[in-house]
Structure formats: structure tokens, C-alpha cells
């Protein structure tokens, strides 16, 4: 099933929750919706599920509008952060309960107990890794197991679209990492079109075929995880996704394939077709692209101001070119110390120029004169 939002606007009183949003999810694709709290992620899922009606725009399943279709007939499965299992039903009954509800107008109707009887529930419990636990009550399950039950219950009616709203947010970090991979595996094996909402950018990059990065009421960029990470379309995306060094510079010249950019009075070269002389630009260098005390096309002298130990990684904070750059170094590197004067190096191709945010206030010189 393909899902499309076309020019969707949604208000709650005076709050503009979504402004002219368009997006498409391909058949069998997992699209992660990621953005800060309150940006409108849940609202998108509620619109697709049919719990909310848009003020403008259309929602299409395989090119057919579903705006007139009630939630129970949209063929959509839902999983929320707080599992919401029935406490008085055991695992088997919770999953079987799912069978009675969501039905899709576009899928063959469920025939009472026939479709998805005992064997279907059993298969689902297998799929989500709960084999043997069918008689447990929710209170006897760990948080992760409860969320597996919720997933099996959502999948029981064989929905054509799966909506996951921060499904792992209530779980601890280790479990989150394991379950997100399992969810992805299950989603792949079922080839079910999925929207996966999270506020955790790392989780989004890990699970998604494509990621939609949202700021308040807007989609900033939609693309494969690598693209969103390496070629952020806006400064917002560059800041939100991954750990990055964003510095302002000015284009002062061109040198063959490269632009020469002045950053804090130091010249660096970036391979980019984009950019005009004297234009201000935002330069992005990811910490893993910075090499300390090694030969490189661009070298800045700096001083180590701090070192964070993170297991296999050292995050090295270096003051250079009037700013602080974070470099990712190997934790086995024992040569780095606070106060050291070091060379910060990176290649011309390891720099991305990020278009400045369109929605940030224009500088006076850009303002059309109206008087």
C-alpha cells in the first residue's frame, strides 16, 4: 500500500500543527518521521489513522482518498509508546483481540474466527519473539515483552499500513537498540508500509529506508539516512541529525574545483559547485571527518580544550579558527591531552556547505525596500 499526504494543513484552535505538508511512503517502505517534541509527528499518524481530519489537503492510500473512510476501515495498525495492553487478558487474548478490530476496505474482510484463528496468533507470537509466553498476563512481562505484544496485536488483523508512535521511548537504551532492529526485520519480512515516529535521530537513521526530518509544522528534508546525514538540506537538519561542527564562513575565492572560504580569518577549501563570491555560508564538518595531527588538505592549528571519553570513542574539543570543533578520535589514542596544540585536518570533500535556513529572519540587506 502506498500512502500519500498532499498539502495537509491541520490546526488545533490557534496552534498550527501542520502547515502544507506533503509526503509519500512507498509500498513496503519504512519511513521514519523524526523531529523535536511538538513538531506534529503524532498528528500526522492520527490523520493517517483517521482519528483527525485535516483542515486542508488530502490523504491517499494507493491514490484513493481515505478522508471519508472511518478509522476502523482504513486497514491501519497502530503501536504507541505506552503499549496499552488489556491487563485482564493474557498475551494470547491480547493479540487475538486485535483480530476483531481493524479491517480494511481494500483487503478481504475477516471472516469471524476463520481468518487468523489460533494459528495466526501463534505465528505472530513467534514472529515477535514471544513463543511460549501466550498464557502470561501483561503484569508478568517485561516492558520490552509488553511492547512486542502490542506489535503483534497491531499486526493481527493483517493491516496494510503500520503506524508506530515512539514505540521504544519507554524502554531503556540497550533494549531500544535491540528492538529497533527486530522491528525493522519484522517490517521487512512482512513488507508492510510503515511510518515510524521517533524524536531520536539515531533511531531514525538506524531503522529507516528514508527519513523525514521535521521542524515545527514543517518537513525540512526527506531522503535516505545517508543523504540526510551527509547532505543536510537546511541548517536545522544539519543541527538535528548527528553530531556536527557548523561554522559560519565567507566565500573569498575559487581555486580550481574548490571554493576558498574564510572561517574566523583562516582559509579553508571546500569542494562545492554552490556559492558566490563574498556570500556567507554555513560549513558542516562531521566529527569523524576531522583528523588530528595527520596530513590533510585543510589544516587549522588549534588547542585541545576538553576530551570526553565514550568507550570506543574520544570526543575531542578543539578551539580553532575562532570556534570550537569536535573531533571523533579513537579511544586507544593516548597521545591527546587537554591543552595540547594540535593540527585539525580535514579533506576538501569532507565539508558540506549548508544552505542557510530560509525561515530565519532576513538580514537587513536582503530585505526588499518597501518605503
Ligand X SMILES: Nc1ncnc2c1ncn2[C@@H]1O[C@H](COP(=O)(O)OP(=O)(O)O)[C@@H](O)[C@H]1O
Site residues (CB under 5 A) for Mg ion?
42
Rule CB under 6 A: choose which of 1, 5, 32, 42 binds ligand X: 42
Query: Least distance from C-beta 259 to ligand X, angstroms?
Result: 37
Q: List the one residue from 38, 105, 117, 224 that touches ligand X (CB under 6 A).
A: 38
| Residue with smaller CB distance to ligand X, 41 or 153 | 41
Looking at the Cβ atoms of 215 and 348, the one nearer to ligand X is 215
37 lines the binding site for ligand X (CB under 6 A): yes
How many chain residues are in contact with ligand X, going by CB under 6 A?
11
Closer to ligand X at the Cβ: 80 or 229? 80
Q: How far is the CB of 174 from ligand X (least distance, A)?
A: 25
Q: Is 21 in the site for ligand X (CB under 6 A)?
A: no
- Contact between 212 and ligand X per CB under 6 A: no
- Say which entry of Mg ion, ligand X, none residue 51 contacts (CB below 5 to 8 A, set by partner kind): none
**Judged by CB, which is closer to Mg ion: 196, or 346?**
196
Q: Which does 64 bind (CB under 5 to 8 A by kind): ligand X, Mg ion, none?
A: none
Residues 6 or more apart in contact with residue 208 via CB below 8 angstroms: 30, 31, 32, 196, 225
Among 39, 121, 127, 353, binds ligand X (CB under 6 A): 39
**At closest approach, how far in Å is the CB of 154 from Mg ion?**
17
User: What is the smallest separation between the CB atom of 42 and Mg ion, expressed in angstroms?
Assistant: 3
Binding partner of 86, given ligand X, Mg ion, none, CB within 5-8 angstroms per partner class: none
Choose the binding region for ligand X from 32-40, 67-75, 145-153, 293-301 (rule: CB under 6 A). Answer: 32-40
Nearer to ligand X, 35 or 144 (CB): 35
Binding site for ligand X (CB under 6 A): 12, 15, 17, 35, 37-43
Amino acid at each position: 500500500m502506498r500512502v500519500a499526504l498532499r498539502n495537509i494543513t491541520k490546526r488545533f484552535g490557534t496552534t498550527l500543527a501542520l502547515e502544507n505538508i506533503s509526503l509519500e511512503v512507498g509500498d513496503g517502505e519504512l519511513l521514519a518521521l523524526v523531529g523535536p517534541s511538538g513538531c506534529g509527528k503524532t498528528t500526522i499518524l492520527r490523520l493517517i489513522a483517521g482519528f483527525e481530519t485535516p483542515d486542508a489537503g488530502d490523504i491517499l492510500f494507493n491514490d484513493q482518498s481515505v478522508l471519508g473512510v472511518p478509522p476502523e476501515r482504513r486497514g491501519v495498525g497502530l503501536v504507541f509508546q505506552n503499549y496499552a495492553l488489556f491487563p485482564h487478558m493474557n498475551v494470547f487474548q491480547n493479540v487475538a483481540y486485535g483480530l476483531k478490530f481493524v479491517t480494511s476496505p481494500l483487503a478481504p474482510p475477516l471472516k469471524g474466527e476463520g481468518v487468523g484463528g489460533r494459528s495466526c496468533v501463534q505465528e505472530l507470537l513467534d514472529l515477535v519473539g514471544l513463543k511460549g509466553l501466550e498464557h502470561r498476563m501483561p503484569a508478568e512481562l517485561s516492558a520490552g515483552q509488553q511492547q512486542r505484544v502490542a506489535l503483534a496485536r497491531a499486526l493481527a488483523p493483517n493491516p496494510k499500513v503500520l503506524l508506530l508512535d515512539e514505540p521504544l521511548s519507554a524502554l531503556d537504551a540497550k533494549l531500544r537498540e535491540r528492538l529497533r532492529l527486530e522491528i525493522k526485520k519484522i517490517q521487512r519480512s512482512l513488507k508492510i508500509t510503515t511510518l515510524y515516529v521517533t524524536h531520536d535521530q539515531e533511531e531514525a537513521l538506524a531503522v529507516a529506508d528514508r527519513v523525514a526530518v521535521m521542524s515545527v509544522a514543517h518537513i525540512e528534508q526527506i531522503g535516505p539516512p545517508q543523504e540526510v546525514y551527509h547532505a543536510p538540506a537546511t541548517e536545522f537538519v544539519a543541527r538535528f541529525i548527528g553530531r556536527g561542527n557548523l561554522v559560519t564562513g565567507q566565500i573569498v575565492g575559487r581555486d580550481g574545483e574548490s571554493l576558498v572560504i574564510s572561517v574566523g580569518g583562516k582559509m579553508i577549501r571546500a569542494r562545492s559547485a554552490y556559492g558566490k563570491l563574498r556570500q556567507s555560508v554555513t560549513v558542516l564538518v562531521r566529527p569523524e571527518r576531522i583528523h588530528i595531527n595527520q596530513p590533510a588538505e585543510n589544516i587549522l592549528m588549534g588547542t585541545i580544550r576538553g576530551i570526553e571519553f565514550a568507550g570506543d570513542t574520544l570526543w575531542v574539543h578543539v578551539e580553532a579558527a575562532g570556534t570550537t570543533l569536535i573531533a571523533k578520535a579513537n579511544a586507544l589514542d593516548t597521545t591527546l591531552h587537554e591543552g595540547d596544540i594540535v593540527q585539525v585536518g580535514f579533506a576538501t570533500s569532507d565539508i558540506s556547505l549548508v544552505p542557510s535556513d530560509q525561515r530565519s529572519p532576513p538580514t537587513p540587506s536582503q530585505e526588499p525596500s518597501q518605503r
